Amino acid sequence: MKPSNYTILIVDDDPDYLIQAQARIKGFGYKTITAEGQKEAEALIEKMRPDLAILDLMMENEDSGFILCYKMKKRYPDVPIIILTGVTAETGISFDIQDDNNRRWIKADLFLDKGIRTERLREEMENLLGKK
Amino acid sequence: MPTLKILVVDDEPGIRGGVSRILRNFRVDYPFMEEAFDFIISEAATGEAGIQVIESNRPDILLLDNKLPGIQGIEVLEYIKRKQLSIIVVMITSYASLELAVKATSDGAYDFIPKPFTPQELKSSIENITKRVFLRKMTTRLHDTGKQIRFTFLSVLSHELKAPLNAIEGYLKMIRERQNGANLEDYDNMIDRSLERIRGMRSLILDMLDLTRVESGKAKRNLEELDLSQVALTAMDTMRPYAIQRSVTLKLLHDGPMLLLADAEEMEIIFNNLISNAIKYNIEDGKVDCYIERHEGCMQIKVVDTGIGMTQGDIEKIFDDFVRIKNDKTKNITGSGLGLSIVKKLIEQYAGKIEVVSTPDQGSTFILTLPIDKPCL
């Protein structure tokens, strides 16, 4: 399928990051839809089903990304989810994604660092969309 | 200089040699680290040889290929997990083995470097790990000395400082790549947003300085007989341009001089924060009234606004470090999330208290009570 047939949901509470991520992903040819936080995203997925979601980890609360991920997987089990992190890997004290128990209930398909290179992000997205 | 030991387990000599070359002169620096880290690299061509090195000369970081001639990488990983060794493991994998990556992650692999990788990818992965190793050591140490809270604060701070940097960097890259074409005007929005983030960062740094001052305690405190109404008036004058811009009316209500033994700078910080919040979280054509009254044994300061207000849940959180209420109404308001935490800490040092009454969409009232006889703790 052509990228333009896919709609990518991007959720981040930093409006600037949202603009930039959107530009990046539009550049790959995908359609995008954005939400500025967990609550907005929850309202959005009531109305539409994205083909892939990219969620920030820390939004309203430090675990907003995880909770949103959980709710999305419950509603749309087949929609792949990428969680973007920045905090966890560096401080090692926030929500620990290496923890087995956390991993079990956080059903994200992929964790990526926010600083990921554009090309690699494109590959990871193609990979996840291709698997469906 | 502290040194971390890295072990590369890969059957391809090219990969092992490459890693050694790339990391030989690599250093990792971090604002909170006193010294830069460097690395010693050792190599093993098989999983069995790798385990021998792990036993004889334990590495801090293990770069592990999965496809090995004898036992597989995943088995080395299981060995480490079983023995509960504190080694950070990075799997070197190709995309073909995604299922393996999932298994490796659940066995405790920390990161993945896709094969083939660029020197930059390797370096940035090693950099992240180094920070993690450092912070892990720090956490243990700080925990021992009861400084955990300070540490949490620092890690949140580093996030707060990084977010605007990332945003600005992102815009600069988009501008450099000429993503909106050749006209400079088409980048105005990106430039404005970058400037806005820089402003936010500056105010965060200023708040940080206030906070450091508050926390370093009484040593520098300079107590004098102050007229609080004058302090309030100065704060209002400073803020007036901002209030006019937002069409908010400021009013100060008091009856004669309001004398209190206090530190002038600290009182300024308190009034500046409360009044600027009252303007910031107000509505167009809103009002801010500041009352100063003398009561039995104490001074009461009330800052009343006609702004967006808060819920009870919000009120419970606003005095914590870095807390900002995020909703549709506050979306375009910037701030460090430190102001009220600073105010509260200061007031406590004067043995005073702060209370909040608020109704969403009607406004908030902050009430400060400062004892007159017992000026500070």
Number of domains in chain A: 1
Inter-chain touch A86–B166, beta carbons under 8 Å = yes
Instruction: Look at residue A94 in the predicted model and tell me its pLDDT.
Output: 44
Chosen from B32, B81, B132 to mutate, greatest number of chain A CBs within 10 A: B132
Which of B155-159, B251-255, B321-325 is predicted least confidently?
B155-159
The candidate with the shortest Cα–Cα distance to A33, out of A57, A13, A9, A16, is A9
Task: Tell me B286's DSSP state.
Answer: -
Instruction: Look at residue A10 in the predicted model and tell me its pLDDT.
Output: 95
Q: Mean pLDDT for chain A?
A: 81
The whole-angstrom separation of Cα B6 and Cα B127 is 12
Number of Cβ atoms within 10 Å of the Cβ of A92 = 19
The whole-angstrom separation of Cα B264 and Cα B244 is 26
For residues B93-115, average pLDDT: 72
Instruction: Look at residue B327 in the predicted model and tell me its pLDDT.
Output: 75
Asked if residues B50 and B6 have their Cβ atoms less than 8 Å apart, the reply is no
Instruction: Look at residue A83 in the predicted model and tell me its pLDDT.
Output: 86
Q: Mean pLDDT for chain B?
A: 84
Distance from CA of B267 to the nearest CA of A (A): 31
Inter-chain touch A89–B167, beta carbons under 8 Å = no
Whether the pTM exceeds 0.95: the reply is no
Which residue type sits at B62?
Answer: L
For residues B132-157, average pLDDT: 62
Chain B residues bordering chain A (beta-carbon distance below 8 Å): 95, 98, 105-106, 108, 110-111, 114, 121, 124, 128, 131-132, 135-136, 139, 151-152, 155, 158-159, 162-163, 166-167, 170-171, 174, 179, 193, 197, 326, 331
Instruction: Look at residue A92 in the predicted model and tell me its pLDDT.
Output: 41
The band of A95, judged by pLDDT with boundaries at 50, 70 and 90, is very low
In this complex, the residue of B135, B163, B179 whose CB is nearest that of residue A91 is: B135
Query: pLDDT of B280-308, one tens digit each?
Result: 999 999 999 999 999 988 999 999 999 99
Instruction: Pull the structure tokens for residue A117.
Output: 């290179």
For residues A86-114, average pLDDT: 59
The band of A11, judged by pLDDT with boundaries at 50, 70 and 90, is very high
Which residue type sits at B58?
Answer: R
State the residue for tokens 């620092």.
B154
CA dihedral B171, B173, B179, B182 (to 10 degrees): 100
Instruction: Look at residue B124 in the predicted model and tell me its pLDDT.
Output: 85
Number of Cβ atoms within 10 Å of the Cβ of B361 = 10
Which residue type sits at B206?
Answer: L
**Residue A69 lies in domain:** 3-131
List Cβ neighbours of A125 (8 Å cut-off, separation of 6 or more): A8, A25, A28, A30, A52, A82
Residue of A nearest to B155 (CA): A91
Q: What is the CATH number of the domain that holds A42?
A: 3.40.50.2300
Helix (H, G, I), strand (E, B) or coil at B252: strand
Number of Cβ atoms within 10 Å of the Cβ of B28 = 20
A17: left (phi over 0), alpha (psi -120 to 50) or beta: alpha
> What are the φ/ψ torsions at residue A32 (nearest 5 degrees)?
-130, 155
Which of B213-217, B311-315, B365-369 is predicted least confidently?
B213-217
Asked if residues B250 and B239 have their Cβ atoms less than 8 Å apart, the reply is yes
Residue B211 has pLDDT above 80, yes or no: no
The whole-angstrom separation of Cα B346 and Cα B269 is 9
Question: Which of the two residues, B261 and B337, has the higher pLDDT score?
Answer: B261
Inter-chain touch A86–B171, beta carbons under 8 Å = no
Chain A residues bordering chain B (beta-carbon distance below 8 Å): 13-17, 19-20, 23, 27, 36-37, 58-60, 86-87, 89-94, 98, 100, 103, 113-115, 117, 120, 123, 127
B108: left (phi over 0), alpha (psi -120 to 50) or beta: left
For residues B231-260, average pLDDT: 91
Residue B219 has pLDDT above 60, yes or no: no
Relative to beta strand B259-263, strand B223-227 is: antiparallel
Number of Cβ atoms within 10 Å of the Cβ of B20 = 16
Which of A6-15, B77-86, B126-135, B254-263 is predicted least confidently?
B126-135
Asked if residues B214 and B345 have their Cβ atoms less than 8 Å apart, the reply is yes
Inter-chain touch A113–B197, beta carbons under 8 Å = no
In this complex, the residue of B106, B111, B151 whose CB is nearest that of residue A100 is: B106
Residue B146 has pLDDT above 70, yes or no: no
Question: Which of the two residues, B357 and B29, has the higher pLDDT score?
Answer: B357
> What are the φ/ψ torsions at residue B246 (nearest 5 degrees)?
-100, 10
Distance from CA of A89 to the nearest CA of B (A): 7
Which of B178-187, B321-330, B348-357 is predicted least confidently?
B321-330
Instruction: Look at residue B361 in the predicted model and tell me its pLDDT.
Output: 92
The whole-angstrom separation of Cα B215 and Cα B252 is 30
Instruction: Look at residue A93 in the predicted model and tell me its pLDDT.
Output: 40
Structural domains of chain B sorted by starting position, each given as residue range(s) with its CATH number in brackets: 3-144 (3.40.50.2300), 148-218 (1.10.287.130), 222-371 (3.30.565.10)
Residue B83 has pLDDT above 60, yes or no: yes
Number of Cβ atoms within 10 Å of the Cβ of B66 = 24
Residue of B nearest to A115 (CA): B166
Distance from CA of B67 to the nearest CA of A (A): 21
The band of A91, judged by pLDDT with boundaries at 50, 70 and 90, is very low
Q: What is the DSSP string of A7-38?
A: EEEEE-S-HHHHHHHHHHHHHTT-EEEEESSH
Helix (H, G, I), strand (E, B) or coil at B355: strand
Number of Cβ atoms within 10 Å of the Cβ of B368 = 23
The band of B41, judged by pLDDT with boundaries at 50, 70 and 90, is very high
Instruction: Look at residue B236 in the predicted model and tell me its pLDDT.
Output: 92
Query: pLDDT of A31-70, one tens digit each?
Result: 999 998 888 899 999 999 999 999 987 776 667 787 888 8
Inter-chain touch B171–A20, beta carbons under 8 Å = yes
Number of Cβ pairs closer than 8 Å across A and B? 69
For residues B255-272, average pLDDT: 90
Distance from CA of A75 to the nearest CA of B (A): 23
Residue B78 has pLDDT above 70, yes or no: yes
In this complex, the residue of B111, B131, B152 whose CB is nearest that of residue A90 is: B131
Query: pLDDT of B359-374, one tens digit each?
Result: 999 999 999 999 987 6
Inter-chain touch B132–A92, beta carbons under 8 Å = yes
The whole-angstrom separation of Cα B338 and Cα B340 is 6
Helix (H, G, I), strand (E, B) or coil at B196: helix
Terminus-to-terminus CA distance in chain A, angstroms? Answer: 11
Asked whether the ipTM of the predicted complex exceeds the cut of 0.90, the reply is: no
Inter-chain touch A100–B152, beta carbons under 8 Å = no
